[in-house]
Amino acid sequence: MDTEAFLTALAGYLAGVGLAQWSAVGDYRDDPALPAIQFAQADVPDTLCVLTVTGRNEALRQWDVAFTFRATGVNPLPVEKLADAVSDHFRIAFDLRSQGQWVGGSIQVMPTVALPGGLTLTEVSQKFRGTAELTSAAKHKGSRFVRSDSYRMTVRG
């Protein structure tokens, strides 16, 4: 599996669960509640999530991915909300107690998440939670803040 296939599947998944906008041709609306997914920093739209592969272990099928969120505001709370929503989503999706299948006190089936394109996430762990920082001025909206979190994702498929 190559980086493009993995990142586009991840972008499609995030859009499918309502955490982001994804367009293969970059056709995004400027929505402060729904970041546009891109694979490199861009000047527009103001509300953005850049996905970047920062490491890869092919033998273990693990990918380290940076999620860099950007949002406008007079304080960092909007960017914190966007980043926390993704963190909370994966924490809940992989919660053994609520998402695993148990028989007689033993887990029988571990939780997984299906991505578009036939890929399956079998484990997601947040390696690093960034701090929100002030960045460049927004287009007509004041200040922009960024926060970058890092996740390790194990993929099957």
- The enclosing domain of 119 has a CATH number of 3.30.2000
Cβ-based neighbours of 146, under 8 Å, separated by 6 or more: 68, 69, 70, 79, 132, 133, 135
Q: pTM for the full model?
A: 0.91
* 125 closest CA partner among 97, 151, 155, 99: 151
Q: How many domains does one find in the chain?
A: 1
* Contact (CB, 8 A) for 154 and 62: yes
Report the C-alpha gap between 52 and 50 in whole angstroms: 6
Domain that holds residue 85: 3-156
Spatial separation of the C-alpha atoms in residues 17 and 32, rounded to whole Å: 17
- Give the tens place of pLDDT for each residue, 104-118: 888 888 889 999 999
Tokens of 80: 């914190």
Lowest mean pLDDT among 86-90, 98-102, 146-150: 98-102
Which parts of the chain are beta strand (E)?
Answer: 36-38, 48-57, 62-73, 101-103, 106-109, 113-115, 119-128, 133-137, 143-156
> What's the first-to-final CA gap in the chain, in angstroms?
8
pLDDT digit string (tens) for 28-58? 988 889 999 999 988 889 899 999 999 999 9
Cα distances from 14 to residues 7, 91, 106, 113, in angstroms, run 11, 14, 31, 11
Locus of tokens 């970059």: 26
